[in-house]
Amino acid sequence: MAAVAPAHWGPKTHDATAGQTVGPFFAYGTEFERMNEIAFPHSPGAIVLGGTVFQGDGAPIPDAIIEVWGADVDGSIPRARGSRKRDGHTFTGYGRTFTDDEGHWEFWTRAPGATEPGRPAFFAVIVYARGLPSKLHTRIYLPDDEAALAADPFLASLDDDERASLIATRTPEGLRHDFRLQGEHETVFLAF
Protein backbone atom coordinates (compact mmCIF):
# COMPACT_ATOMS: atom_id res chain seq x y z
CA MET A 1 0.00 0.00 0.00
CA ALA A 2 1.42 3.32 -0.98
CA ALA A 3 0.92 6.13 1.47
CA VAL A 4 -0.12 8.79 -0.97
CA ALA A 5 -3.03 11.13 -0.78
CA PRO A 6 -5.47 10.98 -3.70
CA ALA A 7 -4.06 13.03 -6.57
CA HIS A 8 -7.14 15.22 -6.88
CA TRP A 9 -6.46 16.63 -3.40
CA GLY A 10 -3.47 18.47 -4.86
CA PRO A 11 -0.59 19.73 -2.76
CA LYS A 12 -1.02 20.41 0.96
CA THR A 13 -2.25 23.94 1.63
CA HIS A 14 -1.75 24.24 5.41
CA ASP A 15 1.43 23.93 7.49
CA ALA A 16 1.10 21.25 10.14
CA THR A 17 1.17 22.52 13.71
CA ALA A 18 4.55 21.58 15.17
CA GLY A 19 4.76 19.28 18.18
CA GLN A 20 6.12 20.25 21.59
CA THR A 21 7.14 18.27 24.65
CA VAL A 22 4.49 17.06 27.08
CA GLY A 23 6.65 18.55 29.84
CA PRO A 24 6.74 17.21 33.39
CA PHE A 25 3.20 17.99 34.57
CA PHE A 26 0.97 16.16 32.11
CA ALA A 27 -0.57 13.68 34.55
CA TYR A 28 -3.52 15.68 35.85
CA GLY A 29 -4.36 16.91 32.36
CA THR A 30 -4.23 13.65 30.45
CA GLU A 31 -5.20 10.95 32.95
CA PHE A 32 -8.57 9.26 32.74
CA GLU A 33 -10.15 6.35 34.55
CA ARG A 34 -8.93 2.85 33.63
CA MET A 35 -6.92 4.41 30.83
CA ASN A 36 -4.56 1.43 30.56
CA GLU A 37 -7.39 -1.12 30.57
CA ILE A 38 -7.94 -1.41 26.83
CA ALA A 39 -9.29 -4.88 27.53
CA PHE A 40 -11.08 -5.58 30.79
CA PRO A 41 -8.49 -7.23 33.10
CA HIS A 42 -8.61 -11.02 33.12
CA SER A 43 -11.36 -11.11 30.49
CA PRO A 44 -11.00 -13.83 27.82
CA GLY A 45 -8.10 -12.97 25.53
CA ALA A 46 -6.81 -10.14 27.74
CA ILE A 47 -3.01 -9.94 28.07
CA VAL A 48 -0.60 -7.72 29.96
CA LEU A 49 1.59 -5.68 27.61
CA GLY A 50 4.32 -3.85 29.48
CA GLY A 51 7.93 -2.78 29.69
CA THR A 52 10.30 -0.01 30.70
CA VAL A 53 11.41 3.24 29.04
CA PHE A 54 15.12 4.05 29.27
CA GLN A 55 17.16 7.16 28.45
CA GLY A 56 20.65 7.27 26.98
CA ASP A 57 22.56 6.59 30.22
CA GLY A 58 20.43 3.53 30.94
CA ALA A 59 18.36 5.25 33.63
CA PRO A 60 14.62 4.61 33.53
CA ILE A 61 12.36 7.50 32.49
CA PRO A 62 9.74 8.13 35.21
CA ASP A 63 7.82 10.82 33.32
CA ALA A 64 6.84 9.33 29.96
CA ILE A 65 3.44 8.72 28.39
CA ILE A 66 2.87 5.59 26.32
CA GLU A 67 -0.11 5.34 23.97
CA VAL A 68 -1.10 2.10 22.28
CA TRP A 69 -3.59 1.65 19.44
CA GLY A 70 -4.23 -1.79 18.01
CA ALA A 71 -6.57 -4.02 16.08
CA ASP A 72 -8.74 -6.63 17.76
CA VAL A 73 -7.72 -10.31 17.79
CA ASP A 74 -9.40 -10.87 14.42
CA GLY A 75 -7.52 -7.96 12.81
CA SER A 76 -10.56 -5.68 12.71
CA ILE A 77 -10.07 -2.00 13.50
CA PRO A 78 -12.04 -1.08 16.62
CA ARG A 79 -14.69 1.52 15.84
CA ALA A 80 -16.37 1.47 19.26
CA ARG A 81 -16.31 4.73 21.16
CA GLY A 82 -15.55 4.98 24.83
CA SER A 83 -11.76 4.94 25.08
CA ARG A 84 -12.04 7.89 27.42
CA LYS A 85 -15.13 6.72 29.27
CA ARG A 86 -14.75 2.97 29.54
CA ASP A 87 -17.77 0.76 30.15
CA GLY A 88 -15.74 -2.19 31.45
CA HIS A 89 -16.29 -4.54 28.54
CA THR A 90 -16.08 -2.80 25.14
CA PHE A 91 -12.71 -3.16 23.40
CA THR A 92 -11.81 0.22 21.88
CA GLY A 93 -8.22 -0.60 20.88
CA TYR A 94 -6.73 2.58 22.40
CA GLY A 95 -5.13 3.21 25.76
CA ARG A 96 -2.72 5.53 27.50
CA THR A 97 -0.49 5.09 30.49
CA PHE A 98 2.32 6.84 32.36
CA THR A 99 5.60 5.30 33.42
CA ASP A 100 6.02 4.83 37.16
CA ASP A 101 9.05 5.88 39.21
CA GLU A 102 10.99 2.88 37.83
CA GLY A 103 10.14 3.78 34.23
CA HIS A 104 7.69 0.89 33.94
CA TRP A 105 4.43 0.98 32.00
CA GLU A 106 1.76 -1.62 31.29
CA PHE A 107 -1.61 -2.19 29.67
CA TRP A 108 -4.31 -4.76 29.75
CA THR A 109 -5.17 -5.30 26.10
CA ARG A 110 -5.67 -7.95 23.43
CA ALA A 111 -3.06 -9.27 21.04
CA PRO A 112 -3.97 -7.78 17.66
CA GLY A 113 -4.56 -9.94 14.63
CA ALA A 114 -3.14 -9.14 11.21
CA THR A 115 -5.14 -6.39 9.55
CA GLU A 116 -4.43 -7.98 6.16
CA PRO A 117 -3.71 -11.68 5.45
CA GLY A 118 -0.03 -12.54 5.72
CA ARG A 119 0.94 -9.25 7.36
CA PRO A 120 2.74 -9.27 10.72
CA ALA A 121 0.54 -8.02 13.54
CA PHE A 122 1.63 -5.04 15.62
CA PHE A 123 0.51 -2.39 18.07
CA ALA A 124 0.90 1.21 16.89
CA VAL A 125 2.65 3.12 19.68
CA ILE A 126 3.51 6.72 20.53
CA VAL A 127 6.02 7.67 23.22
CA TYR A 128 6.06 11.12 24.84
CA ALA A 129 8.22 12.31 27.72
CA ARG A 130 9.59 15.30 29.54
CA GLY A 131 12.81 16.08 27.70
CA LEU A 132 11.46 14.69 24.44
CA PRO A 133 10.71 17.75 22.24
CA SER A 134 7.99 15.95 20.26
CA LYS A 135 6.23 12.58 19.97
CA LEU A 136 7.95 9.40 18.80
CA HIS A 137 6.05 6.82 16.76
CA THR A 138 7.07 3.18 16.91
CA ARG A 139 5.51 -0.28 16.63
CA ILE A 140 5.42 -3.36 18.84
CA TYR A 141 5.25 -6.44 16.62
CA LEU A 142 3.96 -9.72 18.01
CA PRO A 143 6.70 -12.38 18.03
CA ASP A 144 4.55 -15.36 17.08
CA ASP A 145 4.11 -15.31 13.29
CA GLU A 146 7.72 -15.77 12.24
CA ALA A 147 6.83 -16.26 8.57
CA ALA A 148 4.95 -12.98 8.40
CA LEU A 149 7.73 -11.15 10.27
CA ALA A 150 10.34 -12.58 7.90
CA ALA A 151 8.31 -11.63 4.83
CA ASP A 152 7.75 -8.02 5.86
CA PRO A 153 9.76 -5.65 3.63
CA PHE A 154 10.10 -2.95 6.29
CA LEU A 155 11.42 -5.36 8.94
CA ALA A 156 13.69 -6.94 6.32
CA SER A 157 15.22 -3.52 5.64
CA LEU A 158 16.48 -3.31 9.25
CA ASP A 159 19.58 -4.84 10.82
CA ASP A 160 19.16 -7.49 13.54
CA ASP A 161 19.49 -5.03 16.42
CA GLU A 162 16.97 -2.62 14.92
CA ARG A 163 14.48 -5.37 14.14
CA ALA A 164 14.78 -6.77 17.68
CA SER A 165 13.87 -3.34 19.06
CA LEU A 166 10.44 -3.64 17.42
CA ILE A 167 9.46 -7.21 18.36
CA ALA A 168 7.96 -8.03 21.77
CA THR A 169 8.95 -10.93 24.02
CA ARG A 170 6.40 -13.45 25.23
CA THR A 171 5.84 -13.64 28.99
CA PRO A 172 3.43 -15.86 30.97
CA GLU A 173 1.07 -12.87 31.28
CA GLY A 174 1.37 -11.56 27.76
CA LEU A 175 4.10 -9.48 26.15
CA ARG A 176 7.11 -7.50 27.35
CA HIS A 177 8.69 -4.68 25.39
CA ASP A 178 11.18 -1.97 26.39
CA PHE A 179 11.79 1.39 24.72
CA ARG A 180 15.31 2.79 24.62
CA LEU A 181 15.20 6.41 23.48
CA GLN A 182 18.94 6.67 22.95
CA GLY A 183 22.16 4.65 22.78
CA GLU A 184 22.84 0.95 22.60
CA HIS A 185 19.84 -1.01 21.28
CA GLU A 186 18.07 2.29 20.55
CA THR A 187 14.47 1.65 19.61
CA VAL A 188 13.61 2.18 15.95
CA PHE A 189 11.25 5.14 15.65
CA LEU A 190 9.14 5.88 12.61
CA ALA A 191 8.35 8.72 10.24
CA PHE A 192 5.42 8.44 7.84
Partner 1 sequence: MTEPAAAPESLLASPDQLTQREITQEIVDLHAAFAAREAAGETLPATMLDFAPYRSSVLRHPTKNPKLVDPETIELRSPAYGQRDVAAIESDLTIQHAGEPLGERMTVQGRLLDSWGRPVANQLVEIWQANAAGRYIHQRDQHPAPLDPNFTGAGRIVTNERGEYKFTTIKPGPYPWKNHVNAWRPAHIHFSVFGTGFTQRIVTQMYFPGDPLFALDPIYNTIHRQRDRDNLVATYDHDLTTPEFSTGYRWDIVVDGPDATWFEPEAGEH
- CB 34, min distance to partner 1, A: 14
Binding mask 22-61 for partner 1 (x = CB under 8 A): xxxxxxxxx------------------------xxx-xxx
- CB 123, min distance to partner 1, A: 8
Q: How far is CA 121 from the centre of its chain?
A: 12
Judged by beta carbon, residue 47 or residue 114, the one nearer partner 1 is 114
CA-CA distance, 13 to 118, in Å (whole number)? Answer: 37
Is residue 79 involved in binding partner 1 (CB under 8 A)? yes
Cα distance between the two ends of the chain: 13
Binding mask 98-127 for partner 1 (x = CB under 8 A): ---xxx--------x--xx--x--x-x-x-
Which of these ranges, 7-15, 40-48, 141-149, 168-176, lies near partner 1 under the rule CB under 8 A?
7-15
Is residue 9 involved in binding partner 1 (CB under 8 A)? yes
C-alpha radius of gyration, the chain, whole number: 17
- CB 44, min distance to partner 1, A: 22
**Burial letters for 62-79: b for 16+ Cβ neighbours within 10 Å, e otherwise?**
bbbbbbbbbbbeeeeebe
> Quick one: residue 24, left, alpha or beta (phi over 0 = left, psi -120 to 50 = alpha)?
alpha
